[in-house]
Amino acid sequence: MRVAIVGAGPAGLYAAEVLAHEYQTEVDIFEALPVPCGLVRYGVAPDHFSIRSVRDKLVETLDNPKVRFFGNVSIGSDITTDELSKWYDAVIYTYGAAKDRSLGIPGEDHPMSIAATDFVKWYTGHPDAQDFAQHLRNSREVIVIGLGNVAIDVARILIKPISELRTTDMPEHVLSALESSQVRHVRIVGRRGPQHATFTTKELKELGEIPDVDVLVNIDQLPPDDLAASNGDRVVERNLKVLREWANRHDHVSSKSIEFLFFSTPESFDAKNSLFHVHQMEMKSDGEIARKGVSYTIPADLVIRSVGYQGVEMSGLPFDNTGNVIPSENGRILNRERDYVAGWIKRGPSGIIGTNKKDATNTVNQLMQELNALSSQSLEPLRINEILEEREIEYVDVDGWKRIDAAERGLGLARGSERTTIHERSVLLNIARGV
Ligand code: NAP
């Protein structure tokens, strides 16, 4: 049996591990980028060392002789989904949810309004990222919209002293852009209250530990009773405790600040006058949020929208346009015999990295149960390499990835960090080729 996996992020690599290790099944992993690890490489903040170190464990899967890696191969264009279905006994799609969600407000499309997904791509050294150095040179006041962990990551990276980022694996061009950044005030704007935020306490608390940064919270926006407002949710209870401590502090002397503005729904961005308009919201006695009838403006040279990731359709596969996922039942794509899903493209953009392990395992268990009833149809393994070569697709195999890994570690050594991310696709491909 030979299974193809589309996407080498956590869900794909966990699925490969279960297939190869527990079921002794051959696996080919296809990844559009030249390197594995998906959002652990291009999503997790570079200063979150312990979460990022999950990478080392994830890539161990590629050392299993039953697993092959085909990086820099786009399914949907280089190879179609129909072809994959014919060439393998089964396919698992784990390509995640890479697109940003939009707000649908005037001014959103202005160049000084950017998606957090793009900003994160940039500071993690994604090969297709836009450069935001100029944005940071021209911005003193920044608004981050959203109350999730991505919003917290973005706010922290925007304002953290460069000395604390030098030990990360951020590419050099990102570090120099952050060093010459003019950003002084970051406002985190949420349409609902602190008790509705989806950020977690560890991430929230870190904001208070950044040198020369005050965290500002308006005590009137906190609930009258934290215990009642958290309704048994320990994370909410702990978040409220942290926010209340900040709200009670009045010794603000730092040159930079992060301010929380809750109950403020985005209305429009007036980039010409560097103003962001929000509408005030209030919580009704039934717990619902409603417009209060008052608007106000916030200074904003740059707006970063952190309102969630979104899955995108892949040509040839069914798609649920409401949930932005591939519709499935127990991991098998609806009305397909041998096609499966796992990770964010199956269940939407939520959960921690470990959530994908359970999710991928469930899908693989279901797949193996169903596959036993079907006959094998997979191509000879070397035929896949031949097809890629016939199509002149420059794929990166496990050895190529190891060369990239060694080069990044070597670059890191030179500046005293564990590694430095190489961000240009052509450079990554040259290194993979051994050039
Ligand atoms: P998220 O937790 O879903 O947060 C999205 C935020 O956007 C919510 O506050 C949401 O508010 C807001 N929002 C959505 N539509 C909006 C609109 N039209 N106007 C205003 N606000 C709007 O998503 P995320 O922060 O992108 O994180 C994605 C996943 O990655 C999460 O599971 C997260 O925990 C995980 N992650 C974890 C870490 C970490 O552990 N360190 C770091 C990064 C990401 P409403 O609640 O009102 O809809």
pLDDT tens string for the chain (435 positions)? Answer: 999 999 999 999 999 999 999 999 999 999 999 999 999 999 999 999 999 999 999 999 999 999 999 999 999 999 999 999 999 999 999 999 989 999 999 999 999 999 999 999 999 999 999 999 999 999 999 999 999 999 999 999 999 999 999 999 999 999 999 999 999 999 999 999 999 999 999 999 999 999 999 999 999 999 999 999 999 999 999 999 999 999 999 888 999 999 999 999 999 999 999 999 999 999 887 878 899 889 999 999 999 999 999 999 999 999 999 999 999 999 999 999 999 999 999 999 988 899 999 999 999 999 999 998 898 899 999 999 999 999 999 999 999 999 999 999 999 998 899 999 999 999 999 999 998
Ligand 1 centroid from CA 424, angstroms: 29
Question: Identity (one letter) of the amino acid at 102?
Answer: S
Beta strands in 263-381 (DSSP E): 264-270, 275-283, 289-299, 302-305, 309-310, 328-329, 332-333, 339-341
On the CB side of 10, how many CA atoms lie within 13 Å of its CA?
25
**CB of 203 closer than 6 angstroms to any ligand 1 atom:** yes
Rounded to 5 degrees, φ, ψ at 428 are -60, -45
**CB of 343 closer than 6 angstroms to any ligand 1 atom:** no
**CB of 307 closer than 6 angstroms to any ligand 1 atom:** yes
Rounded to 5 degrees, φ, ψ at 71 are -85, 160
Ligand 1 centroid from CA 306, angstroms: 7
22 DSSP 8-state letter: I
Identify which of 381, 419, 416, 357 has the alpha carbon closest to the alpha carbon of residue 89.
381
pLDDT digits (tens, 9 = 90+) for 155-191: 999 999 999 999 999 999 999 999 999 999 999 999 9
Instruction: Tell me the whole-structure pTM to 2 decimals.
Output: 0.96
320 DSSP 8-state letter: B
Report, in angstroms and rounded to the nearest whole number, the Rg of the chain calculated over CA atoms.
23
pLDDT digits (tens, 9 = 90+) for 285-325: 787 889 988 999 999 999 999 999 999 999 999 999 999 99
Residue showing tokens 């619902």: 288
**CB of 46 closer than 6 angstroms to any ligand 1 atom:** no
Closest Cα to atom 38 of ligand 1: 149
Distance (Å, whole) CA 435 – CA 418: 23
Ligand 1 centroid from CA 146, angstroms: 6
3-state DSSP call for residue 5?
A: strand
**CB of 149 closer than 6 angstroms to any ligand 1 atom:** yes
**CB of 311 closer than 6 angstroms to any ligand 1 atom:** no
Distance (Å, whole) CA 38 – CA 40: 6
Residues 13 and 60: beta-carbon distance below 8 Å: no
